[in-house]
Amino acid sequence: MRGRALLRLVVVLSVFALVAAACGDDDATTTTGAAATTTTAAAGEDLVFGMILVGPQNDHGWSQAHYEAGQYLEQQLGATMIVLDRVNPADRPETPVEQVIDDMVAQGAQLVFATSDDMKDGALLGAERNPEVPMIWSSGDNAWVDGKDYRADLANLGNVMGRMEYGKMIAGCAAALTTETGKIGYLGPLINDETRRLANSVFLGARYCWENYLGNDPADLEFSVNWIGFWFNIPGVTLDPTVVANDFFDSGVDVIISGIDTTEGLVVAGQRAAGGETVWAVPYDFEGACEEAPEVCLGVPYFNWGPRYLEVAQSVIDGTFTADFQWLGPDWDDINNPETSSVGWLNGDGLGADAATDLETFIAGLADGSINLYVGPLNYQDGSVFLADGEVATDFQIWYTEQLLEGMIGASSAG
């Protein structure tokens, strides 16, 4: 009887398989037909590009900023985006990044964006396997000729990153101008070159405004960093950002600045404010991030990937793509210009009028170059010299920041 039971199962599965296969053939033909009809359209409309996101496409943070840049390309060029979100080993253990790249290429993608630091291994491998397909690994450095990890052999994999140091300095300034307890908490993701340089930038902006606009002693500003261990919460693996945010507020911090991909810091601040506490937060990454709790939001430093991604897509259409390293700053004429500025800052409802005035002055100073916070003397956390007196940091020094700065509380690396 067991044999018969097995036989039945096999029959059921086979019938299912046959039905699926039969349907598959039909549909494949239709798709081919549709593709053939579009060959007469403009070149941009023929462009199919892949967008690989590390988190959910609606995370109100890092991944959504990329997703909307992809939509921008669709609007501007009439191109078609193939998107896969939540590509990380926790959410999709059976789908490594290189497999997604192969899939997208097989599906006709002529350009692929791998949009997370976490995709390094997969992006390098995927580029190696598909040398004829232009790709971008955002936030990476493999195409930086003077960088530490230059890969001359990968002529098809370029990098794009925004100079978020400016956005973070502005965020730090807004926090320092607002805090009543003099305690600012930075909700950090994992620890690497990128996150250290961004945390440092927040600190530099906060200290500058605390000292210069409020006339306070820098020693009275307490700036602590807590790392959760990844770009977003993975239950059981990372620290829970909601818990970390609550711990910050319990310890007297009244402004949390987020460095993670998602908005827990702002959400917790909104909840605590609803309970009568005087607290604020600064989210990160995405233009619309303040929406989750606008009344406590001081503003948001955000990435605008659209303009550069559009240039890349155009170069692929024109056949002029080169794999280069682009580290792009704000358009200082209008940092919120959606067509020209790679990094922006939007004030939130929680920012007071006086603070907003000072912040405007600060931004103007960054814009005209009269304020440069990466000038020595600056020491690392262990007291070693980062920048000697009067020394202006090079891009290399900023990108590959080795430690947090002196005066910051928190880990520079894992113990």
For residue 219, state whether it binds other proteins (rule: CB under 8 A). no
CB of residue 123 to other proteins, shortest distance in Å: 13
CB of residue 362 to other proteins, shortest distance in Å: 31
Part of the chain binding other proteins (CB under 8 A), chosen from 67-75, 84-92, 278-286, 310-318: 84-92
Burial state string for 68-92 with b = 16 or more CB within 10 A and e = fewer than 16: bbbebbeebbebebbbbbbbbeeee
For residue 33, state whether it binds other proteins (rule: CB under 8 A). no
By CB under 8 A, name the one of 64, 138, 159, 238 that touches other proteins. Answer: 238
3-state secondary structure of 358: helix
Burial state string for 250-263 with b = 16 or more CB within 10 A and e = fewer than 16: eeebbbbbbbbbbb
The answer to whether 283 touches 300, Cβ cutoff 8 Å, is: yes
For residue 240, state whether it binds other proteins (rule: CB under 8 A). no
3-state secondary structure of 188: strand
Q: Which residues contact 237 (CB under 8 A, 6 or more apart)?
A: 90, 229, 230
**144 vs 166 by CB, closer to other proteins:** 144
Which amino acid does the sequence have at 172?
Answer: G
CB of residue 19 to other proteins, shortest distance in Å: 8
CA distance 171 to 185: 12
**18 vs 274 by CB, closer to other proteins:** 18
Kindly tell me the sign of the dihedral angle through the C-alpha atoms of 306, 201, 331, 142.
negative
**119 vs 202 by CB, closer to other proteins:** 119
**90 vs 328 by CB, closer to other proteins:** 90
For residue 59, state whether it binds other proteins (rule: CB under 8 A). no
For residue 191, state whether it binds other proteins (rule: CB under 8 A). yes
Binding mask 102-131 for other proteins (x = CB under 8 A): xxx-xx----------x--x-------x--
Q: What is the dihedral of CA 117, 286, 214, 362, to 10 degrees?
A: 90
For residue 409, state whether it binds other proteins (rule: CB under 8 A). no
**27 vs 180 by CB, closer to other proteins:** 27
Part of the chain binding other proteins (CB under 8 A), chosen from 6-14, 139-147, 257-265, 296-304: 6-14
For residue 353, state whether it binds other proteins (rule: CB under 8 A). no
Q: Which of 176, 162, 147, 393 is nearest to 284 (CA)?
A: 162
Query: Where are any strands of DSSP class E within 85-181?
Result: 111-114, 135-137, 157-162
For residue 414, state whether it binds other proteins (rule: CB under 8 A). yes
